């Protein structure tokens, strides 16, 4: 069982412990290339190392993820896709799927909800990882990207009640996409975290995965130094809001 942290009042999973007693299929649904690695890459690497099956579904190709050192090019979608695939390989992810929603304009529409219902009924994950749609301000100091929140909102709306209910989207049922029950939802960038994972053992793998996103990280030495500053007395953690939907 998780250990309760008195100071944080959230459950902490020790780095050497496995949370589940059997292999899980984990589907990560987020907005942009590099979101999985930035938000929860060390946890994903830990789970991959434990033998769990991890796949990504990214809702955009990140074409607006530019900076002063890397301006817009016609090839940026391809660049960011390749960077993401390389990063996913470092994490231990099996497959990466991309949707082609416009970066910066993601909205939790009914059409997107249906697409995600189809994805989840096809992939049939035990665990879904997304982003907390209620978190407007990250640590109270910066504004959370609206695409992040939209990805989380669309994922929540798809999981309940539509993915598990055959009365939603009978056309998908006719196409062979049978209802499916997701066991757990893990929301990264949580407004109110209720669990955190000790990822000390896989923190360097998270950094190495993030370095694959060369168009995004800027000065690599400075970036690595900043990542190493995030520790707490020699340990590194990633936080989530975990919701157990079905045991």
Which is more confidently placed, 127 or 16? 127
pLDDT-based confidence at 185, cuts 50/70/90? Answer: very high
Whether the per-residue pLDDT at 2 is higher than 50: the answer is no
Residue spans per domain, the chain: 21-244
Q: Report the C-alpha gap between 37 and 65 in whole angstroms.
A: 15
Give 7: exposed, middle or buried? Use CB within 10 Å, 0-12, 13-18, 19+: exposed
Asked whether residue 199 carries a pLDDT value surpassing 80, the answer given is yes
- DSSP tag of 165: -
CATH topology of domain 21-244: Rossmann fold (3.40.50)
User: What does the mean pLDDT of the chain come to?
Assistant: 92
| Global confidence as pTM | 0.93
Contact 149, 136 (CB under 8 A): yes
Tokens (6 digits) for 205: 């793998």
User: pLDDT-based confidence at 233, cuts 50/70/90?
Assistant: confident
Percent of the chain at pLDDT > 90 equals 80
pLDDT in tens, 54-88: 999 999 999 987 666 666 667 889 999 999 999 99
Instruction: Supply 46's token pair.
Output: 């830990």
Which residue spans within the chain are E strands per DSSP? Answer: 3-4, 11-13, 25-30, 53-60, 95-101, 127-131, 137-138, 142-143, 184-188, 195-198, 237-244
């Amino acid at each position: 069982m998780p250990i309760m942290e008195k100071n944080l009042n959230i459950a902490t999973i020790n780095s050497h412990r496995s949370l589940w007693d059997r292999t899980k299929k984990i589907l990560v649904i987020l907005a942009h290339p590099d979101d999985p690695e930035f938000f929860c890459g060390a946890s994903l690497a830990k789970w991959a190392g434990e033998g769990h099956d991890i796949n990504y579904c990214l809702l955009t190709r990140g074409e607006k993820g530019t900076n002063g050192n890397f301006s817009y090019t016609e090839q940026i979608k391809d660049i960011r896709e390749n960077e993401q695939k390389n990063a996913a390989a470092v994490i231990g992810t099996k497959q990466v799927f991309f949707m082609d929603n416009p970066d910066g304009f993601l909205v939790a529409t009914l059409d997107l909800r249906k697409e995600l219902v189809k994805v989840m009924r096809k992939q049939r994950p035990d665990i879904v990882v997304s982003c907390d749609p209620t978190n407007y301000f990250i640590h109270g100091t910066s504004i959370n990207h609206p695409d992040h929140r939209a990805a989380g909102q669309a994922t929540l709306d798809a999981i309940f009640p539509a993915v598990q209910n055959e009365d939603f989207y009978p056309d998908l049922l006719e196409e062979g996409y049978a209802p499916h029950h997701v066991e757990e939802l893990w929301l990264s960038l949580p407004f109110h975290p209720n669990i955190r994972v000790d990822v000390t053992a896989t923190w360097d793998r998270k950094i190495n995965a993030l370095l694959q996103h060369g168009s995004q990280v800027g000065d690599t030495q400075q970036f690595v130094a900043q990542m190493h500053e995030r520790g707490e007395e020699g340990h590194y953690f990633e936080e989530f809001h975990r919701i157990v939907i079905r045991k």
